[in-house]
Amino acid sequence: MISCLGLFGLAAFSANTRFREIGVRKVLGASVTGIMTLLAKDFIRLVLLAILIAIPIAWYVMDKWLQGFAYRTRIGYSVFVFSGLIALLISLATISWQSLRAALTNPVKSLKSE
């Protein structure tokens, strides 16, 4: 929950700093999905990097922990795939709200400010 709040704040900050760029892109004919992709692509890369760093560490720690039990079991790769997909979907849902809000704003507001 805390990481989603941080991601939400970072997405809001990114959308605010790129407010004029989004306005210019909309005036030049960019679609809402194009703008959402533009804003979400950087965050998706960060989440994928975090997943790639977390998987080996989680596998090592869980493997060592599970070896302490009498009935040993192996950790399947599907656990990490599903966990990564769930983390990616949650982060995409968090980011999409700010991206959609930025993509649907009136471009005249951003270009009129100066």
pLDDT tens-digit profile of 16-75? 888 888 888 888 888 888 888 888 888 889 889 999 999 999 999 998 998 888 887 888
Q: Residue 113 — very low, low, confident or very high, per pLDDT cuts 50/70/90?
A: low
Separation in Å, CA 51 to CA 11, 38, 56, 85: 19, 21, 9, 9
H-type alpha helices, the chain: 2-17, 19-27, 32-66, 77-103, 107-112
pLDDT tens-digit profile of 11-26? 888 888 888 888 888 8
Record the pTM: 0.77
Residue pair 26/62 in contact by the 8 Å Cβ criterion: no
